[in-house]
């Protein structure tokens, strides 16, 4: 698109935006430009209402809320899995909302990592979120392997992005399992999941993805891409609230596989309360649940997913790309003299939902942005992440954010702050 740096262009785009009315669904303070939805999404009124519904069910029904509430808790994870399936391109039986992203990673690795002969290694990358690597190392050690030799991490050529050809080249005969991010959390690079899955399967390797920075921002086709498994959190683009319950996908050809970690909520629903010491696993992705669902962390996701059903993930992706392209254009034109580098991929098919800026004063600039009402995200040592989220960010918000950043740099406002990150960056 041909973007203009004039403010009236932003106003005109907002008039044309078919998703603009969804902003009214969210709690946004006046004078607040929230650009950190890739870390924690905002509360919507519907999410608030669905949480209040579960609280009311507890109030009115006590233990009978599991079956008799307005939203029965016993089937909540399955209901939310069904609502999530269109966002990731899965069949309903392949998807469940459960656990946290790291506990689900442990479940998936323990279920799918089956070292055999010389195939002992797990392939990951050196840029992925640390928790993923902690889980991989832990699972290797539990199986008696040494992470120093049996964890292979693909190197980045520039410290920010990965090349699919480098990942494919690392798919050696001794690799048993691959775990990769769909979108890199720092740079926002979107990997070609379809290609990587095809190449892994050509070599007889199981492959799974961490969708934390893509679910709710981009469409997926996990079933058709033949992905073996995936995990995600729901509190970023899906706006389920801090520490909200995560989710997992298992391709239907693997359903019936015995989970590596067993717990009673992985039982067939009709057998769960038989209280037998021999477990009868569900024949869906529900088999990979472990413990009792955290209902008050699940509940807000119901209201949030209703919004996604109405908005449509393809429409959300289209607007997200427009917003990030617009933001990058404004930065390139308005901030060229201030030493910023845009480090996320420029092409649409390789970019997730946020803009990655590098600057040597990134930490202090983020503090100055917050003082001016803009909520960014800092990643050490020099990255500013800005996420204009399609459901609650306007083009005017993007224009204002860049103008605020320009004023901060012109007036050197960042110099009043100490260097270094806050406890929660």
pLDDT tens over the chain, length 425 residues: 678 889 999 999 999 999 999 999 999 999 999 999 999 999 999 999 999 999 999 999 999 999 999 999 999 999 999 999 999 999 999 999 999 999 999 999 999 999 999 999 999 999 999 999 999 999 999 999 999 999 999 999 999 999 999 999 999 999 999 999 999 999 999 999 999 999 999 999 999 999 999 999 999 999 999 999 999 999 999 999 999 999 999 999 999 999 999 999 999 999 999 999 999 999 999 999 999 999 999 999 999 999 999 999 999 999 999 999 999 999 999 999 999 999 999 999 999 999 999 999 999 999 999 999 999 999 999 999 999 999 999 999 999 999 999 999 999 999 999 987 777 76
**Residue 124 corresponds to which tokens in the numbers above?**
């990951």
Q: How far, in whole angstroms, is CA 327 from its chain's centroid?
A: 21
Report d(CA 157, CA 387) in Å as an integer.
25
Please tell me whether 359 is known to bind a ligand.
Answer: no
Report d(CA 123, CA 366) in Å as an integer.
34
What residue spans in the chain does CATH classification 3.40.640.10 cover? Answer: 49-310
DSSP state of 422: -
Residue pair 181/128 in contact (Cβ under 8 Å)? The answer is yes
Please tell me whether 213 is known to bind a ligand.
Answer: yes
Please tell me whether 3 is known to bind a ligand.
Answer: no
pLDDT at 421: 75
Please tell me whether 101 is known to bind a ligand.
Answer: yes
pLDDT at 1: 63
Handedness of CA 262, 266, 267, 273 (dihedral sign): positive
Which has the closest alpha carbon to 374: 342, 340, 399, 344? 399
Count CB-CB contacts under 10 A for residue 412: 11
Helices (H) and strands (E) in the chain, counts: 14, 13
Please tell me whether 53 is known to bind a ligand.
Answer: no
Please tell me whether 129 is known to bind a ligand.
Answer: yes
Report d(CA 21, CA 40) in Å as an integer.
21
Please tell me whether 210 is known to bind a ligand.
Answer: yes
Please tell me whether 292 is known to bind a ligand.
Answer: yes
**Residue 260 corresponds to which tokens in the numbers above?**
């590596």
Residues written for the chain: 425
- Give residue for tokens 């003082």: 371
Which has the closest alpha carbon to 188: 342, 352, 74? 352
List beta partners, residue 179.
208
List beta partners, residue 206.
177
Please tell me whether 57 is known to bind a ligand.
Answer: no
Class in CATH terms, 49-310? alpha beta
pLDDT at 425: 66
Q: By three-state DSSP, how is residue 47 classified?
A: helix
Q: Residue 247 is inside which H or E element, if any? A: strand 247-250
What residue spans in the chain does CATH classification 3.90.1150.10 cover? Answer: 7-30+313-409
Q: By three-state DSSP, how is residue 375 classified?
A: strand
List beta partners, residue 44.
26
Quick one: 24 exposed, middle or buried, by C-beta within 10 A (0-12, 13-18, 19+)?
A: exposed
Q: By three-state DSSP, how is residue 377 classified?
A: strand
Topology classification of domain 7-30+313-409: 3.90.1150
């Amino acid at each position: 698109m041909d973007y203009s740096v004039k403010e009236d262009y932003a106003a005109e785009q907002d008039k044309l935006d078919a998703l603009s009315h969804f902003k009214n669904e969210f709690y946004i303070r006046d004078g607040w430009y929230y650009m950190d939805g890739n870390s924690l999404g905002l509360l919507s009124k519907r999410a608030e209402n669905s949480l209040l519904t579960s609280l009311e069910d507890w109030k009115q029904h006590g233990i009978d809320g599991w079956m008799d509430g307005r939203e029965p808790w016993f089937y909540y994870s399955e209901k939310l899995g069904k609502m999530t399936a269109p966002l990731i391109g899965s069949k309903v039986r392949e998807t469940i909302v459960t656990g946290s992203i790291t506990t689900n990673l442990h479940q998936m690795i323990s279920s799918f990592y089956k070292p055999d002969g010389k195939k002992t290694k797990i392939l990951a990358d050196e840029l992925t979120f640390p928790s993923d690597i902690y889980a991989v190392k832990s699972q290797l050690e539990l199986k008696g392997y040494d992470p120093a030799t049996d964890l292979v991490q693909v190197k980045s050529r520039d410290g920010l992005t990965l090349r699919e050809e480098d990942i494919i080249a690392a798919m050696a005969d001794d690799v048993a399992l691959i775990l990769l991010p769909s979108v890199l959390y720092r740079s926002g690079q979107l990997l070609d999941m379809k290609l990587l899955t095809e190449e892994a399967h050509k070599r007889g390797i199981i492959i799974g993805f961490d969708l934390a920075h893509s679910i709710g921002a981009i469409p997926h086709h996990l079933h058709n891409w033949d992905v073996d498994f995936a995990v995600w959190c729901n509190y970023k683009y899906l706006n389920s609230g801090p520490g909200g319950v995560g989710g997992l996908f298992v391709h239907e050809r693997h359903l019936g596989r015995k989970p590596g970690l067993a717990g009673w909520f992985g039982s067939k629903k009709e057998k769960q309360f038989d209280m037998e010491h021999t477990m009868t696993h569900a024949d869906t992705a529900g088999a990979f649940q472990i413990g009792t669902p955290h209902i008050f962390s699940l509940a807000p996701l119901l209201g949030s997913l209703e919004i996604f059903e109405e908005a449509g993930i393809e429409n959300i992706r289209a607007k997200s790309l427009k917003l990030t392209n617009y933001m990058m254009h404004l930065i390139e034109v308005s901030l060229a003299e201030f030493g910023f580098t845009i480090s996320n991929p420029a092409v649409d098919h390789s970019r997730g939902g946020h803009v990655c800026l590098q600057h040597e004063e990134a930490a202090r600039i983020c503090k100055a942005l917050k003082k001016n009402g803009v909520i960014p995200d800092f990643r050490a040592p020099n990255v500013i992440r800005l996420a204009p989220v399609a459901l609650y960010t306007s083009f005017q918000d993007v224009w204002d954010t860049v103008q605020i950043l320009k004023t901060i740099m012109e007036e050197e406002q960042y110099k009043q702050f100490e260097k270094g990150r806050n406890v929660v960056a």
